[in-house]
Structure 1
């Protein structure tokens, strides 16, 4: 869902199109003859409109995530090798197969953490931050930077949303069906024998980059501009999400039935 974004302050909620739908759902009852989208159900989980659980979590094998640039870019416009130390910092968060970014401290993160902890006895990490410095030597006419890859671990489960009143004609919805939602998050270093990696990368300058050297008097210089193009997510998935599935016939469970009969 390309329109789903997150707000990274305080209690995290899904914003954008999904949050707007959630606010509308809170103000007006959902029509019984319509069906929710996955974005709408996730938004209700994040806002608390729906009482959500992440059922039957299955933690997968750890893997090394994609490399991504974590430092400034060093340009060597001089005529000799250049050696310089660079600081780097990195923050890796969690995402799910609905393209939702899961922010630490948010309701979605808490639901997944509760589910994983109950089954496996250890907490689920929402995000990881790291940093340091490295020295690098780059040749004349080259560009250099520091790149890092984080150990990641998937957990797959089925979302269940329970409403106090019917939404889209039902009290319960399950999604996504049938393969479940895969949440990918950073894992501790050396999980399943997989280790984080920090490396120095270099490449020759482009013609445009060489042309910019004139403004720097033939010396080395640093730029905040990132030159490494991030690769697509390489997380293992269990297929593509299906449509939400209602979990009842539109009638409340017996224990929740309301009656107007006078005692």
Structure 2
């Protein structure tokens, strides 16, 4: 009987101790989380200048050709013969961070990255690239045509250092890694921008739309 009482007492004590630890951990977690800034908050301070930020140890990765994107209106050929037309196109490609947030939408981010890359690689880094031109395209009857473009892109990885004049979230300095993806100069690492004409068959609904007053028997241009 004595042995049973000791075991029961020990089990009750262990249960109480475990419960106390669980409560302590649950209480501590929110407080610890409140002391840790999110990367979004730190980036916001870098943009505004509240945090004196630098982008340290930049490392440029090999350039690559980005995805093709439609950069012109579309030509719908509702006629019975090939349709040839000159189409204008324009394209603007920006830079984003590892969260997919634009680094060109105001603030200091783009300038800080450019300053760091220029100092390390002796050439400037661009956060945005715009280009426009025109191209003749031929679309067969019952098809849709448009112009697509792919931009040479390049990633740069580095570590953001945020310095505050007085402690924020308990510290003067905060650090976090980031990867910025932006347009690269044509020909970087042997990669070249590409502009192509693409076509496809019209859908059933698009073929029916060819019978309305404006498109009947003609090639028509529709906004992208």
Please give the TM-score of this superposition, normalised by the length of structure 1. 0.70
Question: Does 2:43 correspond to 1:42?
Answer: yes
Equivalent residue number for residue 217 of structure 1: 216
Question: Does 2:186 correspond to 1:189?
Answer: yes
Equivalent residue number for residue 158 of structure 2: 157
Question: Does 2:145 correspond to 1:144?
Answer: yes
Classify 1:207/1:162 alpha carbon distance in 2 versus 1 (closer, same or farther; 3 Å): same
Question: Does 2:169 correspond to 1:168?
Answer: yes
Equivalent residue number for residue 122 of structure 2: 121
Question: Does 2:61 correspond to 1:97?
Answer: no
1:33 Cα deviation after fit? 4.7
Structure 1 gap segments, 5+ residues each:
1-30, 226-263
Equivalent residue number for residue 78 of structure 1: 79
Q: Does the 8 A contact of 2:47 with 2:106 survive in 1?
A: no
1:19-42 CA-partner distances (Å, limit 9, x unpaired):
xxxxxxxxxxxx995211111110
Q: Residue 214 of structure 1 aligns to a residue in which SS? A: coil
Q: Residue 119 of structure 1 aligns to a residue in which SS? A: helix
Q: Does the 8 A contact of 1:142 with 1:202 survive in 2?
A: yes
Q: Residue 124 of structure 2 aligns to a residue in which SS? A: coil
Q: Does the 8 A contact of 1:32 with 1:167 survive in 2?
A: no
Which runs of structure 2 are paired with 1:18-29 in the superposition (5 Å)? none
Greater CA radius of gyration, 1 or 2?
A: 2
Equivalent residue number for residue 64 of structure 1: 65
Q: Does the 8 A contact of 1:154 with 1:182 survive in 2?
A: yes
Q: Does the 8 A contact of 2:150 with 2:195 survive in 1?
A: yes
Q: Residue 114 of structure 1 aligns to a residue in which SS? A: helix
- Give the paired residue count: 191
Quick one: distance in 2 between partners of 1:62 and 1:32? 38
Classify 1:105/1:38 alpha carbon distance in 2 versus 1 (closer, same or farther; 3 Å): closer
Runs of 4 or more consecutive aligned structure 1 residues displaced over 4 Å after TM superposition: none
Quick one: distance in 1 between partners of 2:105 and 2:185? 16
Q: Residue 102 of structure 1 aligns to a residue in which SS? A: coil
Query: In angstroms, what is the RMSD of aligned CA positions?
Result: 1.5
Quick one: distance in 2 between partners of 1:84 and 1:78? 13
Question: Does 2:221 correspond to 1:205?
Answer: no
1:214 Cα deviation after fit? 1.4
Structure 2 gap segments, 5+ residues each:
1-31
Please give the TM-score of this superposition, normalised by the length of structure 2. 0.82
Q: Does the 8 A contact of 1:32 with 1:169 survive in 2?
A: no
